[in-house]
Amino acid sequence: MTNIELYHHFREQNKDRARLLIKCPDQPGIVSAVSTFLMNNGANIIESSQYSADPEGGNFFIRMEFSCLDLHNRRIEIEQSFHEVSTKFNMEFQFLYVSDVKKTAIFVSKEQHCLMELLWEWQNGDLMMDIGCIISNNENAEQLAKSLNIPFYYIPANKDIRAQVEERQLEILKEHDIELIILARYMQILTPNFVSHYPNQIINIHHSFLPAFIGARPYERAYARGVKLIGATSHYVTNDLDEGPIIEQGVERVSHHDKVDDLKRIGRNIERSVLARAVKWHLQDRVIVDGNKTIVF
């Protein structure tokens, strides 16, 4: 199947599926109210996960995936009638429809292993997203993007022209209705202005096991410290460098035999699998940001 055929198949298969994400102060009766609401609206709960930050007075989080006949035509009605429940329990909530495949942009620099992995899992149907564009400050991914009919934008970038570069990037993102930006080893720092346009919608992969080795050259520093495991961390981008909510982490064993280049080579495999998992969970609406942490349902 081509990716266009994959989409159509996926959308058709999931046209009656949605996810309801809720955050509210913990109190008795929430599950009862939500599940009764869904039942009364003819929905069948397929999967449900919940989390009480602190049963005595913290927040309560729930993700319910449900199916409902003729969902497409009943969206507005269901969302509106949920206000009664949400008001009673003081809920923040979102209905997310599985057939609304998310539009994403992939940012990349010279190293392409994370881009390759994302494209591979996407072609394979494992990452259900609509890649609106690839933006790079390096030309080397152009051929690949074109061969897959993905719009490619080569935008040289450096510290001195950051403002113009981001302005251009924001235009492109708007043009493509991007809902999620994936930094697949994009080696430029984003300004607070840029980040503010996409709160909890930018996923980065940092090439260390955070909070160890925040910042530049983590493999060199891991080598210098003589660690026996190296790692990678995928997190939402905030204005504090490498300090955003962590979605996923992974590690691999290394030994004294491994030089910096070996750590980078081993690290590439960790980076691409950690990033792909984090993106997949986001696309499946499994990640809820709670302060500077994530709940991954």
CB 205 within 8 A of CB 267: no
Q: What angle separates helix 218-225 from helix 260-283, to the nearest 10 degrees? A: 120
Window contacting a second copy (CB under 8 A); options: 162-170, 179-187, 194-202, 226-234: 226-234
Range in contact with a second copy (rule: CB under 8 A) among 127-135, 159-167, 185-193, 265-273: 265-273
Interaction of residue 49 with a second copy, rule CB under 8 A: yes
28 binds a second copy (CB under 8 A): yes
Q: How many CA atoms lie within 13 A of 261 on its CB side?
A: 0
H helix count then E strand count, the chain:
10, 13
Active site residue 242: yes
CB 155 within 8 A of CB 135: yes
Binding to a second copy by residue 154, rule CB under 8 A? no
Task: Report how far residue 181's alpha carbon sits from residue 168's, in angstroms, rounded to the nearest whole number.
Answer: 15
Q: How far is the CB of 178 from a second copy (least distance, A)?
A: 26
Q: Residue 256, interface with a second copy (CB under 8 A)?
A: yes
**Site size for a second copy (CB under 8 A):** 59
Work out how close the CB of 271 gets to a second copy at its nearest, in angstroms, rounded to a whole number. Answer: 13
For a second copy, which residue of 3, 14, 48, 99 counts as binding (CB under 8 A)?
A: 48
4 binds a second copy (CB under 8 A): no
Cis preceding-peptide flag for 199 (omega within 30 of 0): no
Nearest CA among 203, 219, 186, 185 for reference residue 114:
185
What is the closest distance, in whole angstroms, from the C-beta atom of residue 168 to a second copy in the complex? 30
Q: β-pairing, 103-108 with 180-183?
A: parallel
Question: What is the CB neighbour count within 10 angstroms for residue 210?
Answer: 19
Binding characters for a second copy, 58-77, by CB under 8 A (x = yes): ---------x----------
Using CB under 8 A, which of 72, 191, 229, 239 touches a second copy? 229
Q: Based on the shown chain and the rule CB under 8 A, indicate whether residue 104 belongs to the binding site for a second copy.
A: no
Judged by CB under 8 A, which of 169, 188, 204, 273 binds a second copy?
A: 273
Would you say 137 or 273 has its CB closer to a second copy?
273
Distance CA 170, CA 159 (A): 17
Q: Which runs of E-coded beta strand occur in the chain? A: 17-25, 43-52, 59-68, 92-97, 103-108, 130-136, 152-154, 180-183, 202-206, 229-236, 246-253, 287-290, 293-296
Tell which residue, 37, 39, 147, 294, has the closest CA to residue 286: 294
218 binds a second copy (CB under 8 A): no
Q: Which of 242, 261, 262, 285 is the catalytic position?
A: 242
Under the binding rule (CB under 8 A), the answer on residue 241 touching a second copy is no
Chain residues binding a second copy by CB under 8 A are: 27-29, 31-32, 35-36, 38-39, 42-52, 55, 67, 113, 116, 120, 124, 126, 147, 209-213, 225-229, 231, 245-251, 255-257, 265, 268-269, 273, 290, 292-296
